[in-house]
C-alpha cells in the first residue's frame, strides 16, 4: 500500500472511530525464517510507530545477533543494545546464529542443543525495546524441511503465535527440532506434545505416561488447568527425568527424559505431575517462588494418592522426611525473603499443609486448600497469566469463605514462623520409624489426616 493510500485510510478510520473507543494497542510483528536446520534465523521485525530507545535480547545473547539493519541502514551494537528511533515505525532485519548460541551458552533458559533439538527461548533471539513497549507481538515462523518450531507461546494459527511485549522477556520455552508432534486432548485443554531423540520407550508409551499424569492432575482440579501447554521431550543420558515449567503468555514444559527410562518407573514418577501442577497457578513474582514450588510439592502426592498410585504410608513418610527442611533456619527472614532450596520447596509445602489443616479445622471439614486451588483455576488463573500474589490469595480466601491464606501469608512472608512439626504429626496420629509408618486413629486430628489422604 502506498503511503498516500495509507494516510487516506487512516483518516477514514479516524473519522469513523467513536470518541470513547480506546486506542488500539501497538503491534510488533516478527517474521522468522529458519535455515540450516534451525541454526540460522533470519528475522524481519516491524516495530510500531513511537518506538524510541534500545533494542535488546537476553543478557549474553547479543553476540549471536548479526547484520542488524534498521530502515535500510546498518545499525551498530553499543553497550549491548541497538538504538532505534522510529516515529513512524521501523523495519528491522537481522540474523541470529542460534546454532552458535546453543553451543556457547548451553543453557535451556536461553539456547541449548539437546539431542537434535535447538532449544531457543524467544527472549534470546527476538530484539525488543528495553524497557518493554506497550502492546502485543505477533510471531510467524518458517522452518526448513524436516524441522519444525515447537513453542509454549499462544498459537493463533499454524506457525503463528502472539503474546504481549511485557511478557516477551519471560516468554515460554520454544525450540527448533525434527519434532515428532502429537496432540493429547484433555478435559478443559490439551497438551501439544513434541518429542525428539530415541528412547527405550516408544513415543506412544511416553505420550500415555504424560497423558495419565495429566488426567490425574485434571481429576484433582476438576479440569485440565490450562487451555494449551506445549511439552517438549528431550533426550538425556541414564534413566532419570527432569522437568521445568514456564508460563507468561502461554504455557510450556521441558522434560529431560532419560533414554533408558522404562515403564517400571512410571508409578514412582513425581516429576511429570509436579510440572503439570505448576500449570494450575498464575506466574508470580520471583520472590513468591516458594508458593509455586510449595504447591507443587504439597499437591503432587495428593494427586497420586487420589489416583490410587501412592499409598498413604508413602504420602506421610515423604512429608515427615521432607517438611523439616522447610523450617526457618537461623537468620531466616520469612518466605518472601529467604530463597533457599529448603524454604522454597518444603517451606512452601509446609505453608500449604498448615493452611490446609487450618481450613479443614475451622470449617468443620467443609472446605480445604483444594477448594481454594480449584477456584483459582476456575477464575482463569493458570500459568499463562501473570497475577499479583494478593489477587491469588483474595480468590482463594473468597472461595473458602475464610481468610486463612491471606492471614497466614501476612504472618509468614517477612518473618521466620516456626512450626512444631512433632506436635503436628502427633495430633494427626502419624509416626515414622525408618520405613515403617504407623497411624493412631484416636489422635485428636486423625480425622483431618484421613480427609487429606482420602483417595
Q: What's the half-sphere exposure (Cβ side, CA atoms, 13 Å) at 226?
A: 33
Closer of 293 and 382 to Zn ion (Cβ):
293
* Dist CA 448 CA 429 (whole Å): 10
**Window of 32-40, 120-128, 131-139, 287-295 that interacts with Zn ion by CB under 5 A:** 287-295
Closer of 37 and 247 to Zn ion (Cβ):
247
Strands (E) in 7-144, as ranges, are 27-35, 40-47, 51-56, 65-70, 73-74, 77-78, 81-86, 90-97, 111-114, 117-120, 128-130, 136-142
Grouping H, G, I as helix, E, B as strand and the rest as coil, residue 94 is strand
Closer of 56 and 234 to Zn ion (Cβ):
234
**Window of 58-66, 71-79, 157-165, 288-296 that interacts with Zn ion by CB under 5 A:** 288-296
Closer of 293 and 332 to Zn ion (Cβ):
293
- The 8-class DSSP code of residue 58 comes to S
Grouping H, G, I as helix, E, B as strand and the rest as coil, residue 246 is strand
Closer of 160 and 386 to Zn ion (Cβ):
386
**Window of 15-23, 150-158, 259-267, 285-293 that interacts with Zn ion by CB under 5 A:** 285-293
Please state the closest distance from residue 328 (CB atom) to Zn ion, in A: 21
Closer of 175 and 273 to Zn ion (Cβ):
273
Closer of 174 and 344 to Zn ion (Cβ):
344
Please state the closest distance from residue 244 (CB atom) to Zn ion, in A: 7
Please state the closest distance from residue 243 (CB atom) to Zn ion, in A: 7
* Dist CA 162 CA 141 (whole Å): 12
* Dist CA 246 CA 18 (whole Å): 40
Tell me the C-alpha to C-alpha distance, in Å, between residue 379 and each of 225, 248, 281. Answer: 11, 17, 11
Say whether the peptide bond before residue 202 is cis (omega within 30 degrees of 0).
Answer: no
Please state the closest distance from residue 48 (CB atom) to Zn ion, in A: 36
Least Cα distance to 64 among 30, 24, 21, 107 occurs for 107
Q: What does the per-residue mask of binding to Zn ion show for 294-333, with x meaning CB under 5 A? A: --x-------------------------------------
Closer of 167 and 293 to Zn ion (Cβ):
293
Please state the closest distance from residue 272 (CB atom) to Zn ion, in A: 11
* Dist CA 75 CA 86 (whole Å): 13
Please state the closest distance from residue 221 (CB atom) to Zn ion, in A: 16
Please state the closest distance from residue 422 (CB atom) to Zn ion, in A: 28
Total residues in contact with Zn ion, by rule CB under 5 A: 2
Q: What does the per-residue mask of binding to Zn ion show for 190-209, with x meaning CB under 5 A? A: --------------------
Backbone angles phi, psi at 167, to 5 degrees: -90, -15
**Window of 163-171, 181-189, 291-299, 309-317 that interacts with Zn ion by CB under 5 A:** 291-299
Please state the closest distance from residue 274 (CB atom) to Zn ion, in A: 6
Please state the closest distance from residue 402 (CB atom) to Zn ion, in A: 27
The answer to whether the beta carbons of residues 94 and 70 sit under 8 Å apart is: no
Closer of 133 and 296 to Zn ion (Cβ):
296
Backbone angles phi, psi at 309, to 5 degrees: -95, -40
The answer to whether the beta carbons of residues 69 and 43 sit under 8 Å apart is: no
**Binding residues for Zn ion (CB under 5 A):** 293, 296
Amino acid at each position: 500500500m502506498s503511503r498516500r493510500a495509507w494516510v487516506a485510510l487512516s483518516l477514514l478510520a479516524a473519522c469513523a472511530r467513536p470518541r470513547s473507543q480506546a486506542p488500539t494497542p501497538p503491534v510488533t510483528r516478527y517474521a522468522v525464517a529458519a535455515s540450516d536446520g534451525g541454526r540460522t534465523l533470519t528475522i524481519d521485525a516491524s516495530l510500531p510507530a513511537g518506538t524510541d530507545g534500545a533494542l535488546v535480547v537476553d543478557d549474553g545473547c547479543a553476540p549471536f545477533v548479526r547484520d542488524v539493519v534498521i530502515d535500510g541502514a546498518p545499525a551498530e551494537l553499543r553497550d549491548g543494545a541497538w538504538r532505534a528511533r522510529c516515529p513512524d515505525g521501523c523495519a528491522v532485519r537481522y540474523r541470529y546464529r542460534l546454532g552458535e548460541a546453543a553451543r556457547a551458552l548451553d543453557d535451556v533458559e536461553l539456547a541449548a542443543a539437546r539431542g537434535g533439538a535447538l532449544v531457543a527461548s524467544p527472549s534470546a533471539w527476538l530484539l525488543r525495546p528495553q524497557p518493554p513497549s506497550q502492546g502485543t507481538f505477533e510471531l510467524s515462523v518458517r522452518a526448513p524441511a524436516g524441522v519444525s518450531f515447537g513453542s509454549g507461546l499462544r498459537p493463533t494459527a499454524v506457525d503463528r503465535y502472539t503474546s504481549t511485549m511485557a511478557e516477551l522477556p519471560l516468554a515460554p520455552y520454544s525450540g527448533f527440532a525434527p519434532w515428532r508432534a502429537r496432540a493429547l486432548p484433555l478435559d478443559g485443554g490439551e497438551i501439544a506434545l513434541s518429542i525428539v531423540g530415541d528412547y527405550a520407550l516408544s513415543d506412544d508409551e511416553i505420550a500415555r505416561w504424560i497423558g495419565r499424569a495429566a488426567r490425574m492432575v485434571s481429576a484433582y482440579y476438576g479440569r485440565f488447568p490450562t487451555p494449551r501447554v506445549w511439552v517438549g521431550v528431550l533426550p538425556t543420558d541414564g534413566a532419570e527425568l527432569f522437568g521445568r515449567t514456564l508460563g507468561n503468555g502461554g504455557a510450556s514444559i521441558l522434560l529431560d527424559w532419560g533414554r533408558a527410562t522404562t515403564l517400571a518407573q512410571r508409578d514412582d514418577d513425581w516429576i511429570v505431575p509436579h510440572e503439570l501442577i505448576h500449570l494450575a497457578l498464575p506466574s508470580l513474582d520471583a520472590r513468591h517462588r516458594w508458593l509455586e514450588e510449595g504447591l507443587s510439592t504439597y499437591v503432587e502426592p495428593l494427586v497420586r494418592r487420589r489416583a490410587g498410585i501412592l499409598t498413604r504410608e508413602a504420602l506421610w513418610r515423604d512429608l515427615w522426611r521432607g517438611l523439616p527442611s522447610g523450617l526457618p533456619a537461623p537468620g531466616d527472614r520469612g518466605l518472601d525473603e529467604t530463597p533457599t532450596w529448603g524454604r522454597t520447596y518444603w517451606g512452601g509445602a509446609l505453608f500449604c499443609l498448615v493452611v490446609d489443616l487450618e481450613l479443614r479445622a475451622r470449617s468443620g471439614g467443609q472446605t480445604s486448600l483444594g477448594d481454594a486451588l480449584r477456584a483459582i483455576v476456575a477464575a482463569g488463573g493458570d500459568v499463562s497469566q501473570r497475577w499479583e500474589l494478593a489477587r491469588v490469595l483474595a480468590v482463594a480466601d473468597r472461595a473458602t469463605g475464610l481468610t486463612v491464606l491471606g492471614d497466614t501469608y501476612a504472618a509468614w512472608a517477612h518473618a521466620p514462623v516456626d512450626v512444631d512439626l512433632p506436635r503436628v504429626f502427633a495430633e494427626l496420629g502419624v509416626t515414622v520409624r525408618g520405613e515403617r509408618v504407623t497411624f493412631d486413629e484416636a489422635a485428636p486430628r486423625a480425622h483431618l489426616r484421613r480427609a487429606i489422604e482420602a483417595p
